[in-house]
Chains A and B, each alone.
Chain A
Amino acid sequence: MAKIQLENITKKFGELTAVNDVSLEVSDGEFVALLGPSGCGKTTTLRLIAGLEVPNEGRILIGDKEVTKLPPRDRDIAMVFQDYALYPHMTLLDNIGYPLKVRGVAKPDITARVTEVATELQIGDLLERRPGQVSGGQQQRASVARALVHQAQVFLFDEPLSNLDAKLRLEARAFLKHLQQEVGVTAVYVTHDQAEAMALADRIAVMNYGRVMQLGHPLDVYRRPANTFVAAFIGSPPMNLLPCEVDIHAGKILFEGDRVLDIASYRERWGGVLKNGRDITLGVRPENIAISSTEVPGSIPSRVYVIQPLGGEWLVVTQVGGELVSVRLFQDEAPELSENVWLKFDLDRTFLYDKNGDLLQ
């Protein structure tokens, strides 16, 4: 076990800056997910930690040892690849035992250790087969077994579940979480699936354009997005983002189409940080909006656009001026809504972002 430190890491491929001045610290035994859209630099960051790429600038430390320019084998890491990278010409036994074979472990010891790990992962009876002769889920377990077989200090996962179908993915997710809690190993996990990141990680680093946009506990990242990118990326459906103007002296937020929201009681919270009331974005999660068929104080009018049943809940999409606002209703019966409804935001869970998209707090 060891901590990982990235200090001001920059990686360029020709003109393209894949990772831009990223600093990140993963504590001993912590599970950190790198989350972001494709091309955001998350996989490159992982490959930099693995030693498959060398940074242009910055330092990487694993434990207390600087490894910035060391090859992978001198870093004591284990990695699970997106395509599993199981060698097609070897049996699962040879595949899983390969890290031990490379380290010169005696053959009987390799067989014993591989059998132990494989049995734990419920693929103990498949060891004589080749990767092509087992299912996708079993291949995935085999690739995890290969990472587990030698007790590395650091575990790296590169989208290990993205090649599984939906049902298997949920199973494998639970299995990985259980495994991580049991082994308690330091892990960095790359994914583009926010649900996976939320479910597995102790902390999430949301990345975009090679930068870390927010780093924090999954629920903090969800409840209090640090900028509009994170707000729009996390959550399904994501946070509602509405352009508006704020007149803090009058205690009002003005939306398109002369809709006015009274925020007089929140003047203190926002008054200190608001320099200019123009080009503001208001962010509120769909579950933090109450909806009613009649006008109530502190609400804004809107029109129902579509109602979608989602089983245990309802997703009501309404129109405020030209913007669509999603509202989640947790009730069994179909909501009885007229065409015109009033939306009341939970102002304790409503956030304002400046014109650069950063949270005003």
Chain B
Amino acid sequence: MRNYESTFSKLLLVLFSLACMAFFALPLLWLLTAPFTPMTTLSVEIPDNPTLDNFRTVFKNEFAIRALFRNNLIIAGGAMLSVATVATLASYGLSRTRVVGRDILVYVLMLFSSVVGGTAAMVPLFLLAYHLQLIDTHVGVILVMTGGLLPAAIFMMRDFVDSIPRSYEEAALVCGAGPFRIFRDIAFPLVRPGVAVVAIWAFVNAWGAFLIPVVMLRSPENMPASVALYSFYSEAGTPVHTLVSAYAFLYGLPVLVLYLLVNWRFGFRFFGGIKS
């Protein structure tokens, strides 16, 4: 009797999990099949005669292609470089010096991150950028993105740096190395996996950003792909499924490639801000 019950509840659990999986997997499946289908609807169907025509049409849209392969690379690449550089140096400093109230500082920073990156700060950020003449420049977008991502990045990196035993640096000190040399020869190579994780995380965040670029940028030729996606809408304002899916497919590829690259090189473990 008990056996039946447990089998039944297991069955229910499996069915429920399958339903959940389907709910999340279907849109992704659609993204894989739709771009290769001549006439796409919103249902997932394996195309009878797959075609690359949709991609040909997308590549003819200069505005969208420039957005994806130039503007997005500039914004995401810039944000990645600045976040990774500043977060590495800052977390190293935070980890290796005795600052009073250091932990509180880090947590307050975390709190601010949600404000700076969030909608609530858009007006002051816009005004600040306006006075600095950074409106409609990629530098302005990169700076705002960096400001929003940095606190969480520092938080993640600090855990990495904390896990590196100090005796490595002390050994280098005794060997006669100065602070800059120790950072370059010893500390940086040791935290490199952490830098890679934070860099990719920043890249993915900036790659998908919509709100900040759309507020900070004016001219169409500076817009990133998240905004350019709207150029595949009909004049009536409805999406053209074939082209939107093809463009979205291209838009998602770099993130996927980066993920696989880092996974292959370092392995994606969870290096969170959790003290073990």
Given A88-B190, A89-B190, A83-B176 contact (CB < 8 Å): no
Asked if residues A73 and B167 are in contact (CB atoms below 8 Å), the reply is: no
What are 8 A-B interface contacts by the 8 Å CB criterion?
A51-B173, A52-B170, A79-B174, A81-B170, A87-B171, A88-B190, A99-B175, A102-B175
Q: How large is the interface on B (under 10, 10 to 19, 20 to 34, 35 or more residues)?
A: 10 to 19
A83-B167 contact given A88-B190, A89-B190, CB 8 Å threshold? yes
The verdict on A85 contacting B181 (CB below 8 Å), with A77-B174, A98-B172, A99-B176 known, is no
A85 touches B176 (CB 8 A): no
CA distance in complex: A71, B185 (Å): 19
Is B29 an interface residue, CB under 8 A from the partner? no
Closest chain-B Cβ to A175's Cβ sits at a distance in Å of: 21
Closest approach, in angstroms, between the C-beta of B19 and any C-beta of chain A? 46
A50 at the interface (CB under 8 A from B): yes
Answer whether residue A249 sits at the interface, using C-beta atoms and an 8 A cutoff.
Answer: no
Q: What's the Cα separation between A98 and B184 when bound, in Å?
A: 13
Of the residues B167, B172, B189, contact of A89 by C-beta under 8 Å? B189
Beyond A73-B173, A79-B171, A81-B171, is A102–B181 a contact (Cβ under 8 Å)? yes
Closest A-chain residue to B179, C-beta based?
A: A71
Chain B residues near A79: list those with CB within 8 A.
170-171, 174
Q: How far is the CA of A72 from the CA of B190 in the complex (A)?
A: 22
CB neighbors of B among A66-91 (8 A): 71-73, 77-79, 81-83, 85, 87-89
Let me know if A85 and B165 touch, CB within 8 A: yes
B177 within 8 A of A: yes
Q: Confirm or deny: A103 has a beta carbon within 8 angstroms of a beta carbon on chain B.
A: yes
Residue in contact with A85 in the complex, picked from B170, B178, B189, CB distance below 8 Å: B170
- Mask for A33-53, Cβ within 8 A of B = 1, else 0? 000000000000000001110
- The dominant DSSP class at the B interface is helix
Residue B14 at the chain A interface, CB threshold 8 Å: no
Query: Do A146 and B175 form a contact, CB below 8 Å, given A81-B167, A102-B181?
Result: yes
Sorting the interface of chain A by its residue count into under 10, 10 to 19, 20 to 34 or 35 or more gives: 20 to 34
Closest 10 pairs (CB-CB, A-B): A85-B171, A73-B176, A99-B175, A85-B167, A79-B174, A89-B189, A102-B176, A72-B173, A102-B177, A72-B174
**B174 surroundings in chain A (CB, below 8 A):** 50-52, 72-73, 77-79, 156
Q: A88-B190, A89-B190 in contact; A71/B168 too (CB < 8 A)? A: no
Closest Cβ–Cβ distance, residue B164 to chain A (whole Å): 10
Per-residue CB contact flags for chain A residues 327-355 toward chain B (1 = under 8 Å, else 0) read: 00000000000000000000000000000
A103 to B174, CA, bound (A): 12
Q: What separation, in Å, do the CA atoms of A89 and B168 have in the docked complex?
A: 11
**CB neighbours of B185 from chain A (8 A):** 87, 98
B186 sits at the interface (CB 8 A): yes
Write out the residue numbers on chain A whose beta carbons fall within 8 Å of the beta carbon of B189: 87, 89
Tell me the bound Cα distance from A77 to B168 in angstroms: 16
Contacts of A78 in B (CB 8 A): 174
Contacts of B173 in A (CB 8 A): 51-52, 71-73
CB-CB under 8 A from A50, the residues of chain B are 170, 174
Residues A73 and B190 in contact, CB atoms below 8 Å apart: no
